[in-house]
């Protein structure tokens, strides 16, 4: 049996005691005992900060979405080429995604407050040099969306031609107007194509047609370093991710289709 004093110390030091909802207490306490199949990479002398989220009208437009410098991204992905634009990660008390930002100084990680579920790293908005362990549990590696054929006797999942399953991230530069998005994906020949025009997106499972969102994909040179992701605008009255059945940006993937026969 676990000593009650140990449990109380755990609640106090991790700030679990600040959670009022029992469901969240149970959910986030699991972060203390996660069993990870992926290796934990120890990063030494990393400048880490906890940046504020962009909130408006009761919504968080940057929910779960932080940034990482290019050199740290390469270290965490063991030199994968090209370096993925997005890393889904776990760190002590932290869950969400890190977007590679070539403009960040070397050896930098900028978490968001929405990524911190438990206060185990003593982070603040003032950058601190720390040694932390980070596990990468997923990277931006798109696959085609699939749809069911109409034959009820032989149900086959068929790939949709102009489509991808993509991590959603926020527009850190605020260059996308509301209702717009940016998509730059790998083609079959290894080159990259920027999608333009109408796109439909949803999260799986999708039970209601109201959870399918229509956006316009546009070109933007400032976002051209972001590959195999969908970049959402941080402007407007409500985040596009949230319109997809309450999605966020802490690792949610979105089915994105721009096939003219469908959209």
Confidence at 3, pLDDT banded by 50, 70, 90: very low
**Which position has the higher pLDDT, 105 or 16?**
105
Nearest to 257 by CA among 158, 150, 152, 137: 158
Q: Which residues of 53-75 are buried (b: 16+ CB within 10 A; e: fewer)?
A: bbeeeebbbbbbbbbbbbbbbbb
| pLDDT tens digits, 85-120 | 999 999 998 999 999 999 999 999 999 999 998 888
62/178 Cα distance (integer angstroms): 14
Nearest to 181 by CA among 165, 160, 200: 200
| pLDDT tens digits, 164-216 | 999 999 999 999 999 999 999 998 788 899 999 999 999 988 888 889 999 99
pTM for the full predicted model: 0.85
């Amino acid at each position: 049996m676990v000593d009650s004093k140990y449990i109380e110390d755990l609640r106090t030091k991790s700030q679990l005691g600040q959670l009022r909802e029992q469901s969240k207490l149970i959910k986030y306490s699991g972060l203390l005992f996660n069993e990870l199949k992926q290796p934990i990479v120890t990063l030494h002398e990393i400048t880490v900060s906890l940046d504020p989220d962009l909130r408006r009208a009761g919504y968080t437009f940057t929910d779960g979405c932080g940034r990482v410098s290019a050199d740290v991204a390469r270290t965490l992905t063991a030199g994968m080429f090209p370096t993925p634009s997005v890393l889904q990660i776990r760190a002590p008390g932290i869950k969400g995604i890190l977007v590679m930002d070539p403009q960040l100084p070397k050896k930098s990680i900028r978490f968001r407050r929405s990524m911190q579920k438990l206060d185990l790293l003593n982070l603040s908005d003032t950058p601190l040099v720390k040694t932390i362990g980070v596990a990468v549990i997923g990277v931006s590696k798109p696959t085609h969306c699939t749809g069911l054929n109409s034959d009820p006797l032989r149900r086959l999942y068929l790939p949709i031609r102009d489509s991808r399953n993509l991590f959603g991230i926020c527009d850190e530069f605020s260059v996308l107007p509301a209702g717009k998005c940016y998509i730059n994906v790998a083609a079959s020949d290894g080159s990259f194509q920027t999608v333009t025009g109408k796109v439909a997106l949803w999260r799986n499972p999708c039970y209601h047609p109201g959870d399918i969102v229509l956006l316009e994909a546009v070109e933007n040179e400032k976002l051209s370093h972001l590959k195999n992701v969908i970049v959402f605008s941080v402007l407007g009255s409500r985040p596009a991710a949230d319109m997809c059945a309450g999605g966020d940006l802490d690792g949610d993937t979105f089915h994105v289709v721009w096939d003219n026969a469908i959209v």
